[in-house]
Amino acid sequence: MKGMTAMTAAVSTGTVTNAPTLSDTAALSAAAMPSLFTLPPEVERLRDEVREFARTVVRPRVLANDLAPHDDFDWEIVRKGHELGLLRMTLPEEFGGRGVGVLGVAVALEELAAVCASTALVFGASLLGQSSVLASGDPALQARFVPGFLGAEPVLACNAITEEVAGCDLLIPENSPHAQEVTTARREGDGYVLNGVKRFITNGAVAEWCTVFANLEGHPGADGLTTFVVPLDSEGVTRGPVADKMGYRACLGTTLVFEDVHVPAANVVHGEGNGWNFLTMQSNQARTTVAAISTGVARGAFEIARQWCGERVQAGVPLYRHQFSARKLAEMSVKIDAARLLYLQAAHQADNMLPAPTYGPAAAKLFADRIAIEVAEEAMSMLGARGYCREYDVEKFVRESFGARIYEGTPEVLALAVTGALYGHRA
């Protein structure tokens, strides 16, 4: 994009004709991944398709979308991604989906995030919202909601966990001062009535329906947490203002208010009180795919620094031939490869182990989130003043590298999950 052109033009002391290019880096990544972790052929095909989609469709729109008002949403990217099948990656083939599992989704999201983490999160959050319907095993529920993802126009979903007051502490005791301020579900007639406020819901401003976690009245703690599928055009649902975020600006996060929202009993996933078990399973998918996004953010920043160090000449040689720069590039590359291996392992576990272990996904996200910040900041430093300018893309990667540390588990929460697994108990 513009940053690449401007960067090349800025080389005033000479250009190294055999310098590595972004296409070389992409080819290196494509060649390295199978040698480190063998991908199924269908996942390799998906990866290559998404890489081309990110290059031709997403990249030309990245800067404009980042500079747009915080409540603008680029439906055109979503439509083209829907045509490619990005909103049905986790749907089984018998449903008309691509059936690539968590592994395929994670690999695809890395490719998107290496160009634009916001775009990766739009698709990733929708797939996470879908997971409630797919995991329900309820043919009637699936028959009502799955066809929407197979139509001509894209349908987005979202996932409502975070509370206005309690954050992600969904197991708040009933005698807590804030117990009445979490989202609740009350049995009434042939269904339930939901009341509460959910904050920072990714895709909440544009999704058609939502997976909502609510506490059943009279049943505090894990025994009362229940999962509901709620159409967002239901009476009593209000979408609040879109958050004006530092990064991930093309992915809209908003408040969802539920005031006496009637939800039929048929929209309960796995029955009453099974919300915690489902949330744990869903978190493994979420943490794995966010680790892939963070890996993509690190890779995107690294690719810019790598090209810059191949083109920029100091003291008669390109920067990458200077020992100080060479060490930085080497460490950045190794961190990215290590992060990729961790998320690939976690994805394999999520797809093949029941129940899926919490250690792998938590460890993958804990590591990838950290190295994304380290690599992005190092890339900015290597570009000097250019790295601080929006036209060179690196500062966007820096901003977005910090976002993943917050959602789907902070470093502190992830550390508890990892140590809990080490000592054989739930954190």
Pairing of strands 268-269, 313-314: unpaired
Contact between residue 225 and residue 282 where contact means Cβ atoms under 8 Å apart: no
For 227, the 3-state DSSP assignment is strand
**DSSP annotation of 346:** H
DSSP state, residue 34: H
Active site residue 408: yes
Predicted local distance difference test score (pLDDT) of residue 243: 92
Question: What integer pLDDT is reported at residue 17 of this predicted model?
Answer: 33
Residue pair 278/269 in contact (Cβ under 8 Å)? The answer is yes
Domain ranges within the chain, ordered by starting residue: 2-112+277-422, 157-273
**Which ranges in 312-357 belong to alpha helices (H)?**
323-352
Ramachandran angles phi, psi of 136, nearest 5°: -65, -30
DSSP character for 408? T
Fold of 2-112+277-422: Butyryl-CoA Dehydrogenase, subunit A; domain 3 (1.20.140)
Q: What is the mean pLDDT of each run of 10 residues along the chain (427 residues)?
A: 34 33 43 60 96 97 92 96 95 90 97 97 95 88 90 94 72 57 90 95 96 88 89 96 93 96 95 88 93 98 94 85 91 97 94 81 97 97 92 93 90 91 77
Burial class (CB in 10 A: 0-12, 13-18, 19+), 2: middle
Omega within 30 of 0 (cis) for the link into 355: yes
Q: What is the CA radius of gyration of the chain?
A: 22
Phi, psi of 213, rounded to the nearest 5 degrees? -100, 125
Residues 6+ apart with CB under 8 A from 173: 179, 220, 221
156 phi/psi in degrees, rounded to 5: -100, 150
How far apart CA 343 and CA 333 sit, in angstroms, is: 16
End-to-end Cα spacing for the chain:
44
Say if residue 316 is exposed, middle or buried (CB neighbours under 10 Å; 0-12, 13-18, 19+).
exposed
Do 230 and 201 meet the contact criterion of CB atoms below 8 Å apart?
A: no
pLDDT at 249: 94
CATH number assigned to the domain covering 157-273: 2.40.110.10
Q: CA-CA distances (angstroms) from residue 425 to 156, 357, 418?
A: 36, 12, 10
> CB–CB of 226/273 below 8 Å?
yes
User: Nearest to residue 301, comparing CAs of 39, 133, 117?
Assistant: 117
Q: CB of 129 within 8 A of CB of 78? A: no
From 174, 303, 408, 412, the catalytic residue:
408
Name the 3-class secondary structure at 319. helix
For residues 190 and 331, give the distance between their C-alpha atoms in angstroms, rounded to a whole number: 59
Q: Compute the distance between CA of residue 61 and CA of residue 59 in angstroms, rounded to an integer.
A: 5
Beta strand pairing status for 191-202 and 184-188? antiparallel
The pLDDT of residue 392: 85
The pLDDT value recorded for residue 390 is: 86
